[in-house]
Amino acid sequence: MSKKITQTAGRQQLGKFAPMFAHLNDDVLFGEVWNEEAIDVKTKCIITVVSLMASGITDSSLGYHLQNAKNNGVTKEEIAAIITHATMYVGWPKGWAVFRQAKEIWNEEAPAQSEKDAYQNTIFFPIGEENPYGQFFVGRSYLAPLTTEQVPVYNVTFEPGCRNNWHIHHAACGGGQMLICVGGRGWYQEWGKEPVELTPGTVINIPAGVKHWHGAAADSWFSHLALEIPGEDGKAEWMEPVSEEDYNALG
Protein backbone atom coordinates (compact mmCIF):
# COMPACT_ATOMS: atom_id res chain seq x y z
CA MET A 1 0.00 0.00 0.00
CA SER A 2 1.23 3.47 -0.82
CA LYS A 3 1.65 6.15 1.81
CA LYS A 4 -1.50 7.22 3.62
CA ILE A 5 -3.04 10.47 2.48
CA THR A 6 -4.22 12.74 5.29
CA GLN A 7 -5.85 16.12 5.11
CA THR A 8 -6.84 18.48 7.90
CA ALA A 9 -7.67 21.62 5.91
CA GLY A 10 -11.41 21.02 6.35
CA ARG A 11 -11.34 21.12 10.13
CA GLN A 12 -8.74 23.89 10.17
CA GLN A 13 -10.76 26.18 7.93
CA LEU A 14 -14.37 25.11 8.43
CA GLY A 15 -14.39 22.94 11.55
CA LYS A 16 -16.47 25.42 13.53
CA PHE A 17 -18.48 26.95 10.68
CA ALA A 18 -19.43 23.68 8.95
CA PRO A 19 -18.38 20.63 10.96
CA MET A 20 -20.18 18.16 8.65
CA PHE A 21 -18.45 19.60 5.57
CA ALA A 22 -15.10 19.49 7.40
CA HIS A 23 -15.72 15.85 8.31
CA LEU A 24 -16.63 14.93 4.70
CA ASN A 25 -13.55 16.77 3.37
CA ASP A 26 -11.02 15.35 5.80
CA ASP A 27 -12.43 11.90 6.58
CA VAL A 28 -14.34 10.88 3.47
CA LEU A 29 -12.79 12.69 0.49
CA PHE A 30 -9.18 12.62 1.71
CA GLY A 31 -9.51 9.86 4.32
CA GLU A 32 -11.27 7.25 2.16
CA VAL A 33 -11.50 8.27 -1.50
CA TRP A 34 -7.86 9.46 -1.83
CA ASN A 35 -6.72 6.28 -0.07
CA GLU A 36 -8.68 3.71 -2.07
CA GLU A 37 -6.24 1.46 -3.89
CA ALA A 38 -7.70 0.68 -7.33
CA ILE A 39 -5.81 3.62 -8.86
CA ASP A 40 -2.56 5.08 -7.68
CA VAL A 41 -2.13 8.50 -6.09
CA LYS A 42 -0.36 10.00 -9.09
CA THR A 43 -3.33 9.11 -11.30
CA LYS A 44 -5.73 10.58 -8.73
CA CYS A 45 -3.70 13.79 -8.76
CA ILE A 46 -4.02 14.01 -12.56
CA ILE A 47 -7.77 13.32 -12.49
CA THR A 48 -8.22 16.00 -9.83
CA VAL A 49 -6.25 18.64 -11.74
CA VAL A 50 -8.21 17.90 -14.93
CA SER A 51 -11.54 17.93 -13.03
CA LEU A 52 -10.80 21.35 -11.53
CA MET A 53 -9.64 22.59 -14.92
CA ALA A 54 -12.79 21.33 -16.62
CA SER A 55 -14.91 23.12 -14.00
CA GLY A 56 -13.00 26.34 -14.49
CA ILE A 57 -11.68 26.27 -10.91
CA THR A 58 -8.38 28.14 -11.05
CA ASP A 59 -8.17 29.46 -7.49
CA SER A 60 -5.77 28.35 -4.76
CA SER A 61 -7.26 24.84 -4.73
CA LEU A 62 -5.93 24.30 -8.26
CA GLY A 63 -2.51 25.51 -7.06
CA TYR A 64 -2.68 23.02 -4.18
CA HIS A 65 -3.53 20.13 -6.49
CA LEU A 66 -0.89 21.07 -9.07
CA GLN A 67 1.72 21.09 -6.31
CA ASN A 68 0.34 17.79 -5.03
CA ALA A 69 0.66 16.32 -8.55
CA LYS A 70 4.29 17.41 -8.73
CA ASN A 71 4.95 15.97 -5.26
CA ASN A 72 3.50 12.66 -6.38
CA GLY A 73 5.72 12.32 -9.44
CA VAL A 74 4.03 14.20 -12.29
CA THR A 75 6.88 15.59 -14.38
CA LYS A 76 7.02 18.89 -16.23
CA GLU A 77 6.65 17.09 -19.56
CA GLU A 78 3.66 15.10 -18.26
CA ILE A 79 1.78 18.10 -16.84
CA ALA A 80 2.34 20.01 -20.10
CA ALA A 81 0.89 17.08 -22.06
CA ILE A 82 -2.00 16.62 -19.61
CA ILE A 83 -3.05 20.28 -19.73
CA THR A 84 -2.67 20.39 -23.51
CA HIS A 85 -4.77 17.26 -23.93
CA ALA A 86 -7.51 18.45 -21.57
CA THR A 87 -7.54 21.87 -23.22
CA MET A 88 -8.82 20.28 -26.45
CA TYR A 89 -11.94 19.09 -24.59
CA VAL A 90 -12.58 21.82 -22.00
CA GLY A 91 -11.52 25.02 -23.76
CA TRP A 92 -8.58 27.20 -24.63
CA PRO A 93 -8.89 29.86 -21.86
CA LYS A 94 -8.91 27.15 -19.20
CA GLY A 95 -5.68 25.76 -20.66
CA TRP A 96 -4.04 29.17 -20.41
CA ALA A 97 -5.27 29.68 -16.85
CA VAL A 98 -3.91 26.33 -15.68
CA PHE A 99 -0.61 26.72 -17.53
CA ARG A 100 0.01 30.05 -15.78
CA GLN A 101 -0.06 28.28 -12.41
CA ALA A 102 1.67 25.07 -13.56
CA LYS A 103 4.57 27.04 -15.01
CA GLU A 104 5.28 28.56 -11.59
CA ILE A 105 5.15 25.20 -9.84
CA TRP A 106 7.33 23.27 -12.32
CA ASN A 107 9.67 26.22 -12.81
CA GLU A 108 13.30 25.15 -13.10
CA GLU A 109 15.14 25.66 -9.88
CA ALA A 110 17.93 28.22 -10.22
CA PRO A 111 21.26 26.49 -10.90
CA ALA A 112 23.26 25.96 -7.75
CA GLN A 113 25.45 28.91 -6.95
CA SER A 114 29.14 28.34 -6.46
CA GLU A 115 30.59 29.27 -3.08
CA LYS A 116 32.56 32.01 -4.81
CA ASP A 117 29.43 33.51 -6.38
CA ALA A 118 27.56 33.29 -3.09
CA TYR A 119 30.41 35.11 -1.34
CA GLN A 120 30.60 37.72 -4.14
CA ASN A 121 27.01 38.67 -3.34
CA THR A 122 28.08 39.64 0.20
CA ILE A 123 30.71 42.21 -0.80
CA PHE A 124 30.63 45.47 -2.79
CA PHE A 125 33.90 45.05 -4.66
CA PRO A 126 34.61 42.55 -7.45
CA ILE A 127 36.54 39.38 -6.55
CA GLY A 128 38.42 39.60 -9.83
CA GLU A 129 40.72 37.08 -11.42
CA GLU A 130 42.98 34.46 -9.89
CA ASN A 131 45.87 36.20 -8.14
CA PRO A 132 49.00 36.34 -10.36
CA TYR A 133 51.08 36.39 -7.15
CA GLY A 134 49.57 33.03 -6.10
CA GLN A 135 53.04 31.47 -5.82
CA PHE A 136 53.52 33.48 -2.63
CA PHE A 137 50.24 32.25 -1.11
CA VAL A 138 49.02 29.01 0.47
CA GLY A 139 45.59 28.26 -1.03
CA ARG A 140 43.73 30.15 -3.74
CA SER A 141 43.36 33.91 -3.85
CA TYR A 142 41.97 36.50 -6.26
CA LEU A 143 42.98 40.02 -7.20
CA ALA A 144 40.83 42.86 -8.53
CA PRO A 145 42.54 46.20 -9.30
CA LEU A 146 40.13 48.98 -8.26
CA THR A 147 42.42 51.84 -9.28
CA THR A 148 46.04 52.14 -10.34
CA GLU A 149 46.12 55.96 -10.15
CA GLN A 150 47.25 58.13 -7.20
CA VAL A 151 47.11 55.48 -4.47
CA PRO A 152 46.78 52.06 -6.13
CA VAL A 153 44.01 50.00 -4.49
CA TYR A 154 43.37 46.30 -5.00
CA ASN A 155 40.65 44.07 -3.62
CA VAL A 156 42.29 40.83 -2.52
CA THR A 157 40.03 37.85 -1.81
CA PHE A 158 41.16 34.68 -0.05
CA GLU A 159 39.33 31.35 -0.05
CA PRO A 160 38.84 29.79 3.41
CA GLY A 161 42.26 28.75 4.78
CA CYS A 162 44.21 30.80 2.20
CA ARG A 163 46.92 33.18 3.41
CA ASN A 164 50.03 34.82 2.02
CA ASN A 165 53.57 34.00 3.08
CA TRP A 166 55.50 36.13 5.50
CA HIS A 167 56.64 39.23 3.60
CA ILE A 168 58.00 42.76 3.90
CA HIS A 169 57.04 45.85 1.94
CA HIS A 170 60.39 47.59 1.60
CA ALA A 171 60.84 51.27 0.75
CA ALA A 172 63.71 53.72 1.06
CA CYS A 173 61.24 56.40 2.11
CA GLY A 174 57.48 56.28 2.77
CA GLY A 175 55.89 53.12 1.42
CA GLY A 176 54.21 50.34 3.33
CA GLN A 177 50.68 49.04 2.96
CA MET A 178 47.22 49.59 4.39
CA LEU A 179 44.57 46.87 4.61
CA ILE A 180 40.84 47.56 4.94
CA CYS A 181 38.75 44.46 5.53
CA VAL A 182 35.64 44.49 3.32
CA GLY A 183 34.27 40.96 3.66
CA GLY A 184 34.35 37.72 5.62
CA ARG A 185 36.85 37.08 8.41
CA GLY A 186 40.61 36.84 8.41
CA TRP A 187 43.89 37.47 10.21
CA TYR A 188 46.84 39.84 10.18
CA GLN A 189 50.04 39.17 12.09
CA GLU A 190 53.35 40.98 12.51
CA TRP A 191 56.44 38.93 13.25
CA GLY A 192 56.74 38.34 17.02
CA LYS A 193 53.29 39.79 17.77
CA GLU A 194 49.82 38.40 18.47
CA PRO A 195 47.55 37.85 15.43
CA VAL A 196 44.80 40.43 14.88
CA GLU A 197 41.36 39.30 13.74
CA LEU A 198 40.00 41.16 10.71
CA THR A 199 36.29 41.68 10.09
CA PRO A 200 34.60 44.13 7.69
CA GLY A 201 35.66 47.65 8.64
CA THR A 202 38.95 46.71 10.34
CA VAL A 203 41.84 48.93 9.18
CA ILE A 204 45.49 47.84 9.45
CA ASN A 205 48.51 50.13 8.90
CA ILE A 206 51.66 48.26 7.90
CA PRO A 207 54.80 50.40 7.95
CA ALA A 208 57.52 49.67 5.42
CA GLY A 209 60.06 47.14 6.68
CA VAL A 210 57.70 45.19 8.98
CA LYS A 211 57.56 41.41 8.41
CA HIS A 212 53.92 40.20 8.38
CA TRP A 213 51.27 38.06 6.74
CA HIS A 214 47.53 38.35 6.08
CA GLY A 215 44.85 35.89 5.03
CA ALA A 216 41.50 34.21 5.59
CA ALA A 217 40.30 32.38 8.66
CA ALA A 218 40.17 28.61 8.17
CA ASP A 219 36.38 28.59 7.92
CA SER A 220 35.67 31.85 6.09
CA TRP A 221 36.15 33.64 2.81
CA PHE A 222 37.92 36.94 3.35
CA SER A 223 38.57 40.13 1.40
CA HIS A 224 40.61 43.22 2.13
CA LEU A 225 41.43 46.25 0.12
CA ALA A 226 45.21 46.61 -0.16
CA LEU A 227 46.47 50.18 -0.54
CA GLU A 228 50.00 50.67 -1.81
CA ILE A 229 51.35 53.66 0.09
CA PRO A 230 53.55 55.78 -2.20
CA GLY A 231 57.26 55.61 -1.39
CA GLU A 232 60.71 55.48 -2.94
CA ASP A 233 62.15 52.22 -4.24
CA GLY A 234 59.14 50.22 -3.09
CA LYS A 235 59.52 46.44 -3.39
CA ALA A 236 57.94 43.40 -1.75
CA GLU A 237 60.20 40.69 -0.32
CA TRP A 238 58.47 37.32 -0.06
CA MET A 239 59.61 34.84 2.59
CA GLU A 240 58.58 31.52 4.18
CA PRO A 241 54.96 30.34 4.48
CA VAL A 242 53.15 30.74 7.80
CA SER A 243 53.69 27.43 9.60
CA GLU A 244 50.73 25.05 9.73
CA GLU A 245 51.17 24.96 13.49
CA ASP A 246 50.84 28.73 13.85
CA TYR A 247 47.97 28.94 11.39
CA ASN A 248 46.04 26.04 12.94
CA ALA A 249 46.32 27.68 16.36
CA LEU A 250 44.13 30.55 15.12
CA GLY A 251 40.36 30.46 15.52
Which positions touch Mn ion (CB under 5 A)? 177
Residue closer to Mn ion, measured from CB, 81 or 239 = 239
Residue closer to Mn ion, measured from CB, 101 or 177 = 177
Dmax of the chain from CA atoms?
A: 91
State the amino acid at position 91 in one-letter form: G
Rounded least distance, CB 110 to Mn ion, Å: 38
Rounded least distance, CB 151 to Mn ion, Å: 15
Torsion angle of the four alpha carbons 211, 217, 223, 229, in this order, in degrees rounded to the nearest 10:
-10
Q: Who's near 60: CB < 8 A, 6+ residues apart?
A: none
Residue closer to Mn ion, measured from CB, 26 or 228 = 228
Residue closer to Mn ion, measured from CB, 39 or 239 = 239
Q: Who's near 194: CB < 8 A, 6+ residues apart?
A: none
Q: Which of 130, 141, 70 is nearest to 101 (CA)?
A: 70
Residue closer to Mn ion, measured from CB, 50 or 226 = 226
Rounded least distance, CB 179 to Mn ion, Å: 7
Rounded least distance, CB 108 to Mn ion, Å: 45
Rounded least distance, CB 222 to Mn ion, Å: 14
Residue of closest CB approach to Mn ion? 177
Range list of H helices, the chain: 9-14, 19-23, 41-55, 60-71, 76-90, 92-105, 115-120, 244-248
Sign of CA dihedral 238, 239, 244, 247: negative
What is the number of other CB atoms lying within 10 angstroms of the CB of residue 147? 10
